[in-house]
Amino acid sequence: MTELSLKYGCNPNQKPAKIFMKTGKLPVEVLSGRPGYINFLDALNGYQLARELKEATGLPAATSFKHVSPAGAAVGLPLTEIERKIYFCEKAKLSPLACAYARARGADRMSSFGDFIALSDICDRETARLISREVSDGIIAPGYTDEALDILTNKRKGAYNVIKIDENYRPDPIEHKQVYGITFEQGRNELKITPELFENRPTANKEIPEGALRDLMIALITLKYTQSNSVCYVKDGQAIGIGAGQQSRIHCTRLAGNKADIWYLRQHEKVLGLKFKEGLGRPERDNAIDVYISDDYEDVLGDDIWQETFEIRPEPLTREEKKAWLDTLTGVALGSDAFFPFGDNIERARRSGVGYIAEPGGSIRDDNVIAVCDKYNIAMAFTGVRLFHH
């Protein structure tokens, strides 16, 4: 048996804590820091997600994990100039892997604060430099260049968690977990998300272009490692809104849709034109933008805080302006880990630009869901597979 002692369990009072394997060697090596129980849960789930995204798309992939669900996931497509600005990397040199991480982190920067990062490929210097600037708990990757490792092991005065995983490791097909002293056993979810899953299209609109099909695959792979109930909005190879762990699917759809809306509102000209005080940190800018976008921002921040944050007090972004801007968001793909029981989910989704949907189907109200999709000319695929993750 090989084992690795951890700082503590889920909470500081839960000691001792360790990870171990009864047979074989642990496939992970800690190169820096002292990861905890939740760090490893995020690392191992995040790495599986990044690896599957790479397998499905052929592109380098990255995830930003918090509390055993992704805050963001993306593949390494180039950033637009606007994305570079809202992700605070306007002047940075970006490799494809660095693009993947910038997009994964940029999807929901508020939730990604203090994230655990997972990369599909060997971490390069450009990606490490991006990570060095962000508030993060750690990273897992199949390897690191010498320059990248030097950057990361010096982050947080050497306390930053850097984990290397054996990319050739494959777990046993049967997995176990304990709850209240009782051991559960099940087959691992080895389902591969492939284009063939999307061939059953019951809606009048059956056109799902190649880019949207890729985005639907990204959505479902993301959901495979997101605490259920869950839905995921994806645009241009990047998750822009993930709703995790909700008891009601409509609440999941609303939560993820609101995150997608915030991601898009950050690209509004008024937000791009905000003049921050010199030296204000990225987390403080993210917080200020989040409040500025909200409907009650003037009630939340007083004059003294505005003066500390902005060079010039910004004009409000009105509800009418926000609605008009959000009306221009189109072509979003939406995946759900189980069927939509009511058409209200589709009504909410289309408000965030959803044009393509993938869900298992099988509800007694499938006809209603299809009818609402047809109402808005949304193309939907019934995959026939559920993707619960707990």
Choice among 22, 91, 176, 390 that is catalytic: 390
Order the strands of the 354-359 sheet from edge to edge: 28-32, 161-165, 136-141, 115-119, 61-66, 69-75, 238-244, 230-235, 332-336, 354-359, 379-382
pLDDT tens digits along 74-90: 999 999 999 999 999 99
Residue 168 annotated as catalytic: no
Largest CA distance in the chain: 62
Choice among 39, 45, 161, 229 that is catalytic: 229
Third-level CATH fold of 25-170: Cytidine Deaminase; domain 2 (3.40.140)
What kind of architecture, by CATH, is found in domain 175-265+326-382?
3-Layer(aba) Sandwich (3.40)
Residue 251 annotated as catalytic: no
Distance in angstroms (rounded) separating the CA atoms of residues 363 and 145: 49
Choice among 7, 67, 85, 389 that is catalytic: 67
Q: Where in the chain are the domains?
A: 25-170, 175-265+326-382, 269-316
What is the model's pLDDT at position 313? 83
Residue 390 annotated as catalytic: yes
What is the model's pLDDT at position 303? 60
Which ranges of the chain have pLDDT less than 50?
A: none
pLDDT tens digits along 258-272: 999 999 999 999 999
Q: How far is CA 94 from CA 58, 126, 139, 179, 348, in A?
A: 18, 6, 18, 43, 35
What is the model's pLDDT at position 300? 59
Choice among 39, 54, 66, 164 that is catalytic: 66
Residue 192 annotated as catalytic: no
Q: Do domains 25-170 and 175-265+326-382 have the same CATH topology?
A: yes
